[in-house]
Structure formats: structure tokens, C-alpha cells
Chains A and B, each alone.
Chain A
Amino acid sequence: MNTALVKDLVCKVALSGDPHAYKKLFLFYYPRLLSFSYGFTNCKEASEEVVSDVFMKIWSNRTTLLRVANFHLYIYVSTKNLSLNCVEKQKRDKTFSLDDVHIEFKSIYYDPEQLMISAEMFKRICIAVQSLPPRCRLIFKLIKEDGLSYKEVAELLHLSTKTIENQMTIALRKLGDAVALQKEAFLLS
């Protein structure tokens, strides 16, 4: 789903409370927001509740939705805020750090057969992704899988765009290293 389509759906929800458009938005964002929220709450049930609450808020404020300049970012920020509220409820004394987020990658593990690579290389890629520092992995996922821009991620996580750029460089370099190792092995054999 592209930005124009999301915009169109948001328009329909805002202008006429279109239930089909609302459902489409929900189905599109649910898995993404669930995994994003899980990074903060580390609890599936809590995240499910957070995402449902996010959408509840969207429905009750739908008439003001089109005043939101960037819906895609807005929904991630809402999810982050509600997730943090939820975490805060659980442990009020501990401050939350981005290094505590647990991010699961969907696209890279999803279907190794889609890639023309060997099982060995696939394993290497998985390890590379897993070994990325949590903050780096979160940034990489938000940009690659959730389609946010550098600027949006910077705004969402209260980081500078330069940091996002650096973290993305690190992530890609690690992936590239995993692939390059494979090349060497291939040449040796």
C-alpha cells in the first residue's frame, strides 16, 4: 500500500466515516504497529491492546484526521506514546532506553526461497541482522519494512537525521559484510 492509497483511505474515514476504509487501514497497519509496539512492551497482549487503542483514538477523532499532515508518522507516534504509557504503568521507576527495544524482522526471515541465495548465506544474513544493536535494528526496520523516511524516524525517536543516516550505514554495511563473506567462501570452493 502506498502513501496515496493511505491518504485516500484516511480521507474516506475522515469525511464520511467509511467503515470499509477504516477496516483496510486497520488490516494494513495492525501487524506493523503490533511488532513496533512489541519492541516497547515486550508483551503481545499489551501490544494488541495498544494497537486497538490507537485505532479507537483514530475513530473517535476521525473528523480532525485530515488536519494531520503526515498520517503515517502520526500513527507510529501514537503507537509509541501509548506503548510507553503502557510500559510506564508496568514499571514506573525504570526509564526506558531505545536500547531496550526488541525488534523482530519479518521481511528478511520471511521467505529464503524468494532470494537466490544458499541456506548458508541466509543464515549469515540472519545472524547479521540479529547482531545489530537494538536501536540500529529498530531504525533499519522502520525504514525498510514500515516505509518511514529518515526524517520521520528521526522525529519519531527524537534522534537527529544524521544519527539515522549513520545507523543505516552501519546496518547495510553489516548486511553487506555477511554477503561478501559468502562471496569469498564461494570463490574458495
Chain B
Amino acid sequence: MHQNRFWNLLAKHLSGEASAGESMELESLIKKHPELSFAAQHVTDLWKLKAGHDVSEAEKAFKLHMDALEVKHTDSAEEIDGQVEESKKPVKRKTRLLLSYTLLLFIIISGGLFLWVKETKPSDTIAPQVAEVSTRPGSRTKVVLPDSSIVWLNAGSKLKYDHSFGQTNRNTTLTGEAFFDVKKASIPFIIYANGIRIKVLGTAFNVKSYPNEKTTETSLIRGRVEITIDKRPGELFILKPNEKLIVANDLMRAKPDDRKKLPIVVLSEVTHSSDNLVLETLWVENKLIFHDESFEEVARKMERWYGVKINITDDRLAQLHVGGGPFENETIEQALKALQIAFDFNFTFKDNNINITR
């Protein structure tokens, strides 16, 4: 019977399905029955043979496929044009409606402002209508909001909320990156960030929304969040723990004919390091880490983290994917030197400007 067990284990071992215990069992089986090792070796050799595929056939098929795709594409392009034509009228009506709402809102706000100014004048206290917390590049901060929610603000970021925060609403506006640990309460906590709206009751999550970056990312650590995107009305995205929603920002679609397309939304998972730390929120612990991202993105992160200017002269270098860190107490020079060990580049340092060359 050991024969069957042996082939079962070998099959698992070769296909990468064997657990550590099973691999050990296989080894000891071979030791106990040396007559098996000959067959095992040959079958292993056979297994490792790669299939020879005819690339030219695939190339030819690809050409045919692209032709077929093009034919289909022009059909669907016409369909899209037709839809645009039809939807013109409602859009116009919508704009008019929007205009009247804006006007109404303006009247209400100015009225309210007038009353508020009138009310505050006698008491002579200067209550800020909008509270704002911001960090400069190179600094991070932790704030406790009036509702006892805690917010860590990453470098070069800004969080705004109005004076009624915590009483009638919990609305905030974020530019940049922040980690939220929201206190549970009946009033929903809402974050507006670059065209998306994140609604929560009580959870912990990270929002990254720098205006000069390609995407706005929301990573959920625990609890539940609901996200709506301005340009995709009627769609609600619900995140579960360890999920991440990435929304492509407008600047990515530079081509004018792409403008009318819906923004791209991707649901993925948060990234874990080998020791199971969530990389998206490591900055909260004052750790800077790069995980398989382009040098360009790394440079932008470093600029914010250290409050410097970084210029990469070589395009290929800018696209190179690098990883490194976590950096905690290192100076920028030490961090760059650490990256130099794995990646081939040079840098010069002058005042707060860093030039990266090949």
C-alpha cells in the first residue's frame, strides 16, 4: 500500500500541493524504499519538461483575432455613439435642474451665513466655520476629532470639517492620505475625496487621494465602508475587511475622447508583507515602505515623506519597479543608499533637491 501513498505524495509534491509534513513523509518513504528513488527521479525529470508551443501559430491566430475584434469594435462604437445622441436631451435638463438647485443652495447658504454672522457678532467669539488640519511634506500628525474618532494624517495632506461636525453630521473632506479609526455612532461618518464619497459608521480604514496621483485608494482594515463615485451615480461599492477599492483619477485619461467614459474602478486586496503587516497602513507607524512600485511613484512618496524635491532624469529608470524598506529612522540619504544596493542608479543631493540618474 505504501506504493499508492508514494505516488500520491509525489504527485502532490511535483504540483506544489504538498504540505511540509507531506514532503517530509515522501522523503522518508524514499529513504525506506530505495527502489522507488529511480522511478521518482525519472518521473520528476518528465514532470519538469516544458511543453513546446508553436509561437508562430499563436502569432498568426492573434492577427486573425485582432481583425475579428476590430470588426466587432466598430459595431459597438456605433452603438455607443447612438446612445450619446439619445441621452443629450436629459443631460440638458439635468444641467438646468442642477443650476436651479445650486441657486437655491446658494440662497440658503448665504441666508444661513447672514444669520450666523448676526448671531455671533454680539458674543464676539470667533468660531471657525470650517476646521482644517493639514500637514506639510515631511511631517505627519494624529488628530482626535470632536466625535473622538482618530485620524492619522500623512505628509502633505489636508482634512476639513465644518463646525457642526459631531452634532448634526460627520462630514469631512480629504486631500492626500489619512488613516481613520472612526468611533461608532448613529451619524454616518462621510469622507469626500477626489470625486468619491466614503460612508462609514465605525471602522478603521486608509484613504489615499493625492491630487497628483493616478488613483484614489480606499483600504479597509476592519468594519464596513460604502463608497459612491460621483461619476458613477447609482452604483454602491461595499468593502469588506482586507479589500481595497482603487478608482482611477481623471488625469489618467488625457485623451479628450476618453473623457466621457466612466472612471475605472478596481476592487483588489490590501497588500500584506511576509510577516503579515498591511503595507497600506504602515505609514501610521512611521514606517516608509515600497512594494513593487515604479521609481516614479517611489520618488513621489519620498518627496512627501522627507519634504524634498526629487527629479528622475532617465525615463527607463522612472518606470523601473523597485521595492525596499521599511525605513523608520533613516535619513533620505540612508534610504536612497539602501535602495542602491538592489537597484542600479546614482543620486546627487543639493539643498533639498535630489537628482537621480543612471
Contact = CB atoms under 8 A, between A and B. Distances in A.
Which 5 A-B residue pairs are closest in the complex by CB-CB distance? A106-B51, A168-B11, A31-B53, A107-B51, A30-B58
B266 interface: yes
Interface stretch (A77-85, A94-102, A173-181): A173-181
Contacts of B12: 150, 165, 168
A153 B60 CA distance: 29
A106 B50 CA distance: 8
A67 B61 contact: no
A125 interface: yes
A15 B11 contact: no
Contacts of A177: 39
B101 interface: no
A103 interface: no
Interface in B25-61: 38-40, 42-43, 45-47, 49-55, 57-59, 61
A150 B49 contact: no
B106 interface: no
Contacts of B11: 165, 168-169, 171-172
A59 interface: yes
A52 interface: yes
Contact of A110 (B38, B39, B52, B72): B52
Interface residues of B, number: 44
A188 to B, nearest CB: 15
A179 B39 contact: yes
B92 to A, nearest CB: 28
B43 A66 contact: no
Contacts, number: 122
Interface of A: 14-16, 23, 26-27, 30-32, 34, 48, 51-52, 55-56, 59-60, 63, 66-67, 106-108, 110-111, 114-117, 125, 143-145, 149-150, 165-166, 168-173, 175-177, 179-180, 183
A155 to B, nearest CB: 14
A180 B264 contact: no
Contacts of A67: 266-267
A48 B61 contact: yes
A170 B40 CA distance: 14
A172 B266 contact: no
A56 B73 CA distance: 10
Interface string B161-185: 0000000000000000000000000
B352 interface: no
B231 to A, nearest CB: 13
Contacts of A165: 8, 11-12
Contact of A175 (B46, B50, B264): B46
A52 B68 contact: yes
Contact of B7 (A108, A125, A172, A183): A172
B332 to A, nearest CB: 29
Contacts of B265: 63
A178 to B, nearest CB: 9
Contacts of A26: 58, 61-62, 65
B45 A115 contact: yes
Interface string B62-85: 101100110010001000000000
A63 B7 contact: no
